[in-house]
């Protein structure tokens, strides 16, 4: 593609700049060169907006790209192709790979592979503890110096209060997030789904919401003790929302994310024993789901994160209780949340873009993502057709995996273009690499 592209007549929704209106955007040498109506093409390739919404590219705080070590589930290339297809220009890659990203050498390797694929910027998370074993801390300072923005043992909960305290203390001067997968080991032993009416009905072992809540309560106490930055991953309980709301009011440095599936599914949806809806933490009751929606709407929950968790087909083609937990999410996240929360009036479109792009970019301290879309900034952008209706899974996913909890779901709103550093990674709905 030429070095100059004129995006003509798009509805630009940019929460940071406070912009919502039809305009042209000129992209030149990877940067936004001009924003305004009636820009001259002047030799640039013209792409017509034609009713599309243009936004800062989406930013995912939580994706499992599985490489190195689990390339039968996903690779960095297929995962970032899925991200581009979903409108993402930046994702944080989870560290539960093999080897674990618990040191700068593995982090550099993940970055190099992502750079070679050139489909989405990847920010590898470092692990909090060596080998995700929950015992000795990684070299947080060294990883922060290498550009790591978020540390987590995701998949595992940091169970030791002492280790969690030290992590929050050591990370504090570097400004990196300590992100917790909050799940009490004792309360969650052998769990298969949320504990309640439906677990009894379906004969499955339940895990109560309290398994999450006791860890969130403890971690908030430790955030208060240390002044560290705590990030609560994949909130699944309405009472987690209430605790985070109170902690923010108190001035604690806490943030939280919620997934599209926890916002839109509940334990009632497990009556078909669909292994793709076996998710960690489990989807809970409609009351919890509604509490999460309210938390996202009022900003208590900062971000929608996918927890994109690909698995090989043979791993998910097992009985519900034997299937590994997780759903893919990068390619459906925007459409699911747009369909269920924006079209129904829970969130405005600008709020949605804020929660899926600007706010997660700000939490990570990413200058080049999340907007504002103004001259001089990197051209990391996405365009969506809000009126397009489609069915999840009707065409093959770009992800190597197909374990989507949303298969067959009718969705409204579709990513059409994704632009990374001025270059199309998705164009007219088709991957360009």
Spatial separation of the C-alpha atoms in residues 97 and 108, rounded to whole Å: 14
To the nearest 10°, the Cα dihedral for 232, 331, 50, 44? 90
Which range binds Zn ion by CB under 5 A, 40-48, 175-183, 289-297, 409-417? 175-183
Residue nearest Zn ion, CB atom distance: 181
Nearest to residue 252, comparing CAs of 237, 233, 231?
231
Least distance (Å) from Zn ion to the CB of residue 157?
A: 8
Spatial separation of the C-alpha atoms in residues 396 and 144, rounded to whole Å: 38
Per-residue binder mask for Zn ion (CB under 5 A), 47-86, x = binder: ----------------------------------------
Q: Interface with Zn ion includes 261 (CB under 5 A)?
A: no
Spatial separation of the C-alpha atoms in residues 167 and 86, rounded to whole Å: 33
Least distance (Å) from Zn ion to the CB of residue 155?
A: 6
Residue 153, strand partner residues: none
Which range binds Zn ion by CB under 5 A, 24-32, 52-60, 180-188, 345-353? 180-188
Least distance (Å) from Zn ion to the CB of residue 183?
A: 8
Calculate the CA 221 to chain-centre distance. Answer: 26
Which range binds Zn ion by CB under 5 A, 78-86, 148-156, 283-291, 381-389? 148-156
Q: Closer to Zn ion at the Cβ: 74 or 154?
A: 154
Residues 392-411 as b or e (16 or more Cβ within 10 Å = b):
bbeeebbbbbbbbbbbebeb
Which range binds Zn ion by CB under 5 A, 147-155, 196-204, 330-338, 379-387? 147-155
Q: Check 307, 321, 367, 385 and give the catalytic one.
A: 307
Q: Closer to Zn ion at the Cβ: 86 or 326?
A: 326
Please work out the total of residues on this chain that contact Zn ion, with binding judged by CB under 5 A. Answer: 2
Residue 331 near residue 399, CB atoms below 8 Å: yes
Among the listed residues 181, 293, 355, 409, the single contact to Zn ion using CB under 5 A = 181
Q: Closer to Zn ion at the Cβ: 181 or 231?
A: 181
Residues 274-285 as b or e (16 or more Cβ within 10 Å = b):
bbbbbbbbbbbb
Among the listed residues 154, 219, 302, 385, the single contact to Zn ion using CB under 5 A = 154
Q: Does 307 participate in catalysis according to the annotation? A: yes
Residue 269's CB is within 10 A of a number of other CB atoms, namely 15
Query: Please, where are the H alpha helices in 59-209?
Result: 76-85, 104-117, 140-145, 161-171, 197-202
Residue 398, strand partner residues: none
Least distance (Å) from Zn ion to the CB of residue 333?
A: 16
Q: Closer to Zn ion at the Cβ: 64 or 377?
A: 64
List the catalytic residues: 307
Residues found near Zn ion in the complex (CB under 5 A): 154, 181
């Amino acid at each position: 593609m030429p070095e100059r592209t004129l995006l003509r007549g798009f509805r630009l929704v940019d929460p940071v700049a406070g912009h919502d209106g039809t305009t042209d955007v000129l992209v030149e040498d990877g940067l936004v060169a001009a924003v305004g109506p009636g820009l001259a093409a002047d030799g640039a390739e013209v792409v017509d907006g034609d009713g599309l919404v243009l936004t800062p590219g989406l930013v995912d705080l939580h994706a499992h790209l599985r490489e190195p070590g689990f390339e039968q589930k996903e690779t960095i290339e297929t995962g970032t192709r899925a991200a581009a297809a979903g409108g993402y220009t930046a994702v944080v890659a989870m560290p539960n790979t093999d080897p674990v990203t618990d040191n700068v050498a593995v982090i550099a390797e993940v970055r190099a592979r992502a750079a070679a694929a050139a489909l989405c910027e990847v920010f590898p998370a470092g692990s909090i503890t060596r080998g995700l074993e929950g015992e000795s801390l990684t070299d947080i300072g060294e990883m922060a110096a290498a550009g790591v923005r978020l540390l987590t043992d995701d998949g595992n909960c940091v169970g030791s209060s002492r280790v969690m305290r030290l992590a929050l203390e050591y990370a504090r001067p570097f400004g990196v997030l300590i992100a917790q997968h909050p799940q009490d080991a004792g309360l969650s032993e052998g769990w298969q789904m949320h504990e309640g009416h439906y677990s009894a009905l379906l004969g499955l072992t339940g895990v109560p919401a309290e398994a999450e809540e006791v860890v969130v309560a403890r971690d908030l106490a430790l955030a208060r003790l240390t002044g560290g930055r705590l990030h609560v991953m994949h909130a699944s309980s309405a009472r987690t929302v209430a605790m985070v709301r109170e902690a923010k009011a108190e001035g604690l440095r806490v943030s939280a994310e919620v997934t599209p599936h926890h916002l839109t599914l509940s334990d009632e949806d497990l009556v078909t024993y669909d292994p793709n809806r076996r998710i960690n933490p489990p989807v809970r009751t409609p009351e919890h789901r509604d509490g999460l929606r309210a938390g996202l709407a009022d900003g208590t929950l900062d971000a929608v994160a996918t927890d994109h968790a690909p698995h090989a087909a043979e791993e998910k083609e097992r009985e519900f209780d034997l299937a590994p937990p997780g759903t893919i999410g990068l390619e459906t996240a925007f459409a699911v949340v747009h369909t269920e929360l924006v079209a129904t009036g829970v969130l405005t479109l600008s709020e949605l873009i804020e929660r899926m792009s600007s706010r997660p970019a700000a939490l990570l301290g990413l200058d080049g993502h999340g907007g504002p879309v103004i001259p001089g900034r990197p051209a990391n952008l996405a365009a969506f057709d809000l009126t397009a209706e489609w069915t999840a899974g009707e065409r093959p996913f770009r992800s190597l995996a197909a374990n989507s909890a949303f298969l067959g779901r009718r969705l409204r709103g579709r990513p059409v273009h994704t632009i990374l550093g001025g270059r199309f990674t998705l164009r007219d709905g088709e991957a360009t690499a």
